[in-house]
Amino acid sequence: MIVANGKPLEEIIAAVKDRQKILVAGCNECVTVCEVGGTKEVGILASALRLHFLNQGIKAEVGETTLQRQCDREYLVQARETVEPYDIVVSIACGVGCQFMAEEFSTQPVVPGVDTMFMGGALERGVWSERCQGCGTCLLAKTGGICPVSRCAKRVLNGPCGGSTKGKCEISKDVDCAWQLIIDRLKALGRLDDYETLMPIKDWSTDRAGGPRKRIKEEVAS
Amino acid sequence: MRLNYPVHVRIIRVPCTGKVDILHILRAFEKGADGVYLVGCMEGSCHYEQGNFKARKRVEYAQRLLDQVGTGGERVRMYNLTSGEAPLFAQYAQEMSERILALGPNPAKLAGAARKAKAAGETAGRGVA
């Protein structure tokens, strides 16, 4: 899922302070799972904004809505009647959802209420960890299912580097050395011979180096 | 025991403090409450194991949010006691009541009253002119 983190409330308040009708828009997908942009968080943010305006003696209306997906025009079109009466939209979907919202409602200001961070999974309730950077050329088959691109600070493809100590990365004792994990995993799989094979130079043109990316599935694209 | 406690405390019964959501706390302030406190079981003796710990975390979250919006996080508190400690219940009610009286009314009510008074003054001013 895409993992995000809530923006500081002061930043959101600064963005909406001069508006009378504010809509807080959440998304039912990734940001709901990572507990930052679902119906619940929409309620909390809207309530906090209402309290801010009440405390300032300012009359403002703060609405709440949660779309099935903000990154899908199909759902944005359905939300038109809900969204249009408002002066500003605070989108607490990921950066993709926020941008799609802004594109769909081109005459209304749309501001983000979260900072989008990475693609990852939950280690436990309330703790998420990065697992993929969308490099466009997956290496997991060669590395025992552990990604050196997203989990190694240097994205080293033939590691570990000299900064690996007792299984931890030199950047922090809380960060596992991805290459230590890869070696341990290959050992467990009985595939340690694969580790001896040098990884060829990676084609980074499928990563961001090739500019903004687009995928077209010919079978379904019209 | 027939203990007394301050009359302006309104009790909302829940099956466990773990049932209390952050939204319940925030909405109470939106509706004009001057303070909110949760009274849960002693830590470690929750029938649902984690209920009162979850409630404490929510109270701390509410405190942070209320500080940021200007209501003041000190208006929310969490207390723990056992079901046999009625005098402590009354003491906590008294303590919270005194704390809120010292803090004064919910700022939202004061700001709302000031706004209404200003609007009324403007209307009266127009009437005279």
Same-domain pairing of A34 and A111: yes
CA A198 vs CA A81, A97, A154, A186: distances in Å: 57, 40, 17, 15
Same-domain pairing of A105 and A6: yes
Strand partners, A97: none
Strand partners, A155: none
- Would you call A51 an interface residue with chain B, using a CB distance cutoff of 8 Å? yes
A49 contact residues in B (CB cutoff 8 A): 69
In a domain, A219, yes or no: no
In a domain, A191, yes or no: yes
> What is the value of pTM for the model shown?
0.93
Contacts of A57 (CB under 8 A, 6+ apart): B111, B112, B114, B115
Task: Quick: pLDDT tens for B1-14.
Answer: 789 999 989 999 99
- Would you call B57 an interface residue with chain A, using a CB distance cutoff of 8 Å? no
pLDDT-derived band at B99 (thresholds 50, 70, 90) equals very high
pLDDT value of residue B88: 96
Task: Quick: pLDDT tens for B68-87.
Answer: 999 999 999 999 999 899 99
CB neighbour burial string for A70-85, b if at least 16 within 10 angstroms, e if fewer: bbbeebbeebeeebee
Mean pLDDT of chain A: 96
Interface pTM, i.e. ipTM: 0.91
The residue assigned the tokens 């038109």 is A80
In a domain, A102, yes or no: yes
Q: How far apart are CA A114 and CA A86, in angstroms?
A: 20
Write out the H or E segment, with its range, that includes residue A22.
strand A21-27
In a domain, A126, yes or no: no
Specify the CATH number for the domain of residue A47.
3.40.50.2300
- Distance between B83 CA and the closest CA of chain A, angstroms: 30
Q: Quick one: closest CA in A to B113, which residue?
A: A57
Task: Quick: pLDDT tens for A56-90.
Answer: 999 999 999 999 999 999 999 999 999 999 999 99
The residue assigned the tokens 């931890």 is A168
Residue A181 · residue A156 · CB < 8 Å: no
* Percent of chain A clearing pLDDT 90 (strictly above): 97
The residue assigned the tokens 């490099």 is A135
Provide the number of structural domains found in chain A: 2
- Would you call B59 an interface residue with chain A, using a CB distance cutoff of 8 Å? no
Per-residue pLDDT of chain A (222 residues; tens, 9 = 90+): 999 999 999 999 999 999 999 999 999 999 999 999 999 999 999 999 999 999 999 999 999 999 999 999 999 999 999 999 999 999 999 999 999 999 999 999 999 999 999 999 999 999 999 999 999 999 999 999 999 999 999 999 998 999 999 999 999 999 999 999 999 999 999 999 999 999 999 999 999 888 999 999 999 998
Structure tokens at B117: 């008074």
Residue B33 · residue B107 · CB < 8 Å: no
- Distance between B94 CA and the closest CA of chain A, angstroms: 26
Same-domain pairing of A99 and A168: no
Which residues span the domain enclosing A196?
133-210
- Distance between A130 CA and the closest CA of chain B, angstroms: 25
**Last residue of one domain, picked from the residues A72, A93, A118:** A118
Q: pLDDT at residue B128 above 80?
A: no
A9 contact residues in B (CB cutoff 8 A): 65, 68-69
